[in-house]
């Protein structure tokens, strides 16, 4: 584990005197804080493309995270949570949808280990703005979990002269990183069909606030 952390993240990655973050795709981050290493979201940025981001699900498994905090159940945030937790035993924190889907995906593995799953709510409860306090590590202050809302188009933006948000893919990047692995393509397609895929339910939207001494990370 230590060798993998040094190879992927560099020396002193988990220096207890610092808080460090490494981006691994979409809103996914590896976080090291006070000697603990954990994840915000869990999905290898893959589909039609491959290896565009150098840290993928196998690297995330090799890092042996202690916990995975999932923002919501859409595939590009949660699709690899079951794979990583099932391989490492990392505790999973998220909605009931995220936990149910992750356990189902872990059950498909040839071999998996048990992992704890802490449900912070579902699609209906608690209401937006509600705050929960979770004491995940004995040597760190409790994390605050805030029921949030998903981004969406605001018609008022158009009425006031704002431009609509239109996704414009960089097609050349797909060609340069084309994925031809049928197993990966099948896994990606399956993640779109599972609960929490491209359609509702998300299982609720969650933001997490971490405190280490005088430092706060939301």
Q: What is the pLDDT of residue 197?
A: 46
Q: What is the pLDDT of residue 199?
A: 46
Q: What is the pLDDT of residue 196?
A: 46
Residue 48 DSSP one-character state: S
Residues 118 and 91: beta-carbon distance below 8 Å = yes
Query: Which residues, given as ranges, of the chain have pLDDT below 70?
Result: 153, 157-158, 161-165, 194-201
How far is residue 181's CA from residue 109's CA, in Å, rounded to a whole number? Answer: 18
Beta bridge partners of 93: 69, 118
Q: What is the pLDDT of residue 201?
A: 61
Q: What is the pLDDT of residue 151?
A: 80
The reply to whether omega before 163 is within 30° of 0 (cis) is no
Q: Kindly list the strands in the beta sheet with 91-94, ordered across the sheet, starting from the edge strand earlier in the chain.
A: 19-25, 28-33, 36-40, 67-69, 91-94, 117-119
What residues does each domain of the chain span? Answer: 2-211
Please state, as a whole number, how many other Cβ atoms lie within 10 Å of the Cβ of residue 146. 17
Those residues with Cβ within 8 angstroms of residue 26's Cβ, 6 or more apart along the chain or in another chain: 41, 43, 45, 76, 77
Q: What is the pLDDT of residue 52?
A: 74
CATH 3.60.15 matches 2-211 = yes
Instruction: Read off the pTM.
Output: 0.89
- Of 119, 76, 114, the closest CA to residue 94 belongs to 119
Q: What is the pLDDT of residue 171?
A: 82
């Amino acid at each position: 584990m230590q060798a993998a952390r040094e190879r992927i993240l560099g020396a002193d990655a988990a220096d207890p005197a610092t808080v460090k973050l490494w981006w691994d795709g979409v809103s996914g981050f590896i976080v090291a804080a006070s000697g603990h290493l954990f994840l915000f979201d869990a999905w290898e940025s893959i589909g039609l493309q491959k290896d565009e981001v150098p840290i993928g699900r196998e690297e995330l498994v090799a890092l042996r995270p202690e916990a995975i905090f999932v923002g919501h159940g859409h595939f590009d945030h949660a699709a690899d949570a079951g794979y990583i937790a099932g391989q490492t035993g990392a505790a999973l924190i998220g909605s009931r949808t995220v936990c149910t889907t992750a356990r189902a995906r872990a059950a498909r593995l040839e071999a998996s280990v048990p992992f704890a799953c802490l449900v912070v709510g579902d699609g209906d409860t608690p209401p937006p703005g509600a705050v929960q306090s979770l004491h995940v590590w004995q040597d760190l202050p409790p994390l605050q979990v805030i029921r949030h809302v998903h981004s969406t188009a605001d018609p008022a933006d158009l009425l006031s002269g704002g431009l609509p948000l239109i996704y414009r893919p960089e097609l050349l990047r797909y060609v340069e990183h084309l994925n031809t692995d049928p197993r990966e393509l099948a896994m990606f397609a399956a993640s779109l069909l599972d609960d929490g895929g491209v359609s509702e339910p998300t299982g609720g939207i969650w933001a997490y606030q971490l405190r280490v001494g005088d430092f706060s990370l939301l």
